[in-house]
Amino acid sequence: MKRSSVVLSFCLVLALAGPAGAKTTFISIGTGGTGGIYYPYGGGVAEIWSKYVQGVKAVAEVTGASVENVKLAHKGETVIGEVMGDVAVAGYRGLGKFKDKKHDILGMAIMYPNLLQVLTLKNNGITAIEQVKGQNISTGSPGSGTNFMTEAVFKALDIPLDSYKDSRLSFTETANALRDGTITVGVWSVGPGTSSILDLATTHEIRILGFTPEQTQKILSTNETYSAVELAGGVYRGVDSPVATIGVWNVMICQSTLDTDLVYQLVKALFEHNDYLRRIHPSAAYTTPENAVKYSPIPLHPGTVKYLQEKGIAVPAALIP
């Protein structure tokens, strides 16, 4: 029996189903909170796999997002996770919050780019990122990629982590806390057009804090997975001009020990039914075989490599485990 067929907590198990004891593989996808894109995106992936991969039943699980998803996949409590690229690198190499322990993960697919969105209400009078000092803020929930990225960015900008009070709330909780005045600044690292910010902007005048060219250069010099990007004007009500910010690609990871043929079948279904995923969220347009080799920050699982090579896509040696 292959290792991927053994019981992995509650998330990847074999059960008897259908005639003649046909085996069903249950797969849990670690996503994030309900106020971001990870959860609906993961729900769409689960539907695709359950419908188009024979013998597979998949479900999207609400989690603390990127950092937690790496740990869950490593331990086998989930076998698939949605993760920001900087967190995937840290987990794969055993850096930062992963305490010098390399985690057993590999890349499976590239999802879409996240943009760092540092948000305040216009009536708070905050116009620059350094003004977070002395404020009550939220840098994202514990274990999330938003919290991981925000702390990395603040460190690059010499903003001490003890210079503000951090509530560490989920996206939905952050929006509610801004609305209620409990916090003055909230941070999202998410695809643009996320529901929690869209909802807040319908009732309150928001401001998204941009980075100066000097600040951007400092941030980029500290992390190879970050890039300078702009949040387009018009995405949110009242934010009509582009805002200079930082981007990072999201990657779908999987447990490194998963069976090659299983991952091949999952990846094949994901890419070949991307039209359905795009109907759930337009960011899924970035989930392509070409982007898997162009943007994956860690080596790809052999099942993904097999599919890409079958499609005639050259896989760089650095991405072959």
Q: Which tens digit of pLDDT belongs to each residue from 57-93?
A: 999 999 999 999 999 999 988 899 999 999 999 999 9
Confirm whether 3-112+251-319 and 114-248 share one CATH topology: yes
CATH superfamily of 114-248: Periplasmic binding protein-like II (3.40.190.10)
Looking at residue 244, what is its pLDDT?
98
Q: Which residues of the chain have pLDDT under 50?
A: 1-20
Looking at residue 137, what is its pLDDT?
98
Looking at residue 22, what is its pLDDT?
65
Looking at residue 7, what is its pLDDT?
32
SS (H, E, C) the chain: CCHHHCCECCCEEEEECCHHHCEEEEEEEECCCCCCCHHHHHHHHHHHHHHHCCCEEEEEECCCCHHHHHHHHHHCCCCEEEEEHHHHHHHHHCCHHHCCCCCCEEEEEEEEEEEEEEEEEHHHCCCCHHHHCCCEEECCCCCCHHHHHHHHHHHHCCCCCCCCEECCCCHHHHHHHHHHCCCCEEEEEECCCCHHHHHHHHHCCEEEECCCHHHHHHHHCCCCCCEEEEECCCCCCCCCCCEEEEEEEEEEEEECCCCHHHHHHHHHHHHHCHHHHHHHCHHHHHCCHHHHHHHCCCCECHHHHHHHHHCCCCCCHHHCC
Looking at residue 4, what is its pLDDT?
37
Domain spans in the chain, listed from the N-terminal domain onward: 3-112+251-319, 114-248
pTM: 0.87
CATH superfamily of 3-112+251-319: Periplasmic binding protein-like II (3.40.190.10)
